[in-house]
Amino acid sequence: MDHTVERELTVPEEAEEVWRSLAQPEWLGEDASIELREAGDVRAGERDGFVEEADAPRRLVFWWSAPDEDATRVEIDLDETEDGTRVRVTESRPLEILDGRDLAVEFGGRSGGGGASPMAVAGGALAGALR
């Protein structure tokens, strides 16, 4: 099963203008809001989440989910080209990949003493924080 969707398009505006438009999130929906700063809030309809990374005017990464849905991670990368700005949007479900897997087995059986690996613990804590 594929856990990633990626789309790319080029718009005729400069990256700074595209970045400013991200702060006016009609592109997310009618009642949407997004704070373009790390740990900023993201809201769109029933979906809510937080900004993981905001590197103006190049990159925005946020997590969001609706009630009873797994969280997804959205990465928006802006790259200036001679035609304007290439906008690359990638939405993934990295927590689904971690669910049900024993990372110690996946990384050669080295779990560091029989408990859950540090990555599994971190992934579980992040999953709990996003739900």
Angle at 50 between CA 44 and CA 28, to 5 degrees: 25
Q: pLDDT at position 95, please?
A: 75
- Residue 97: pLDDT band with limits 50, 70, 90: low
Give the mean pLDDT of 103-127: 41
**Between 94 and 102, residue with greater pLDDT:** 94
Same domain? For 78 and 31 the reply is yes
Give the bridge partners for 4, in sequence order.
92
Please count the structural domains in the chain.
2
Give the bridge partners for 5, in sequence order.
91
Same domain? For 89 and 107 the reply is no
Same domain? For 29 and 60 the reply is yes
By residue range, what is the domain housing residue 70? Answer: 4-93
Same domain? For 130 and 72 the reply is no
Same domain? For 63 and 118 the reply is no
Express each pLDDT in 25-77 by its tens digit: 788 888 899 999 999 999 999 999 999 999 999 999 999 999 999 899 999 99
Same domain? For 105 and 131 the reply is yes
- Residue 98: pLDDT band with limits 50, 70, 90: low
Q: pLDDT at position 117, please?
A: 35
CA nearest neighbour of 78 among 5, 4, 32, 14: 14
CA atoms of 72 and 119, how far apart (whole Å) = 18
Same domain? For 24 and 70 the reply is yes
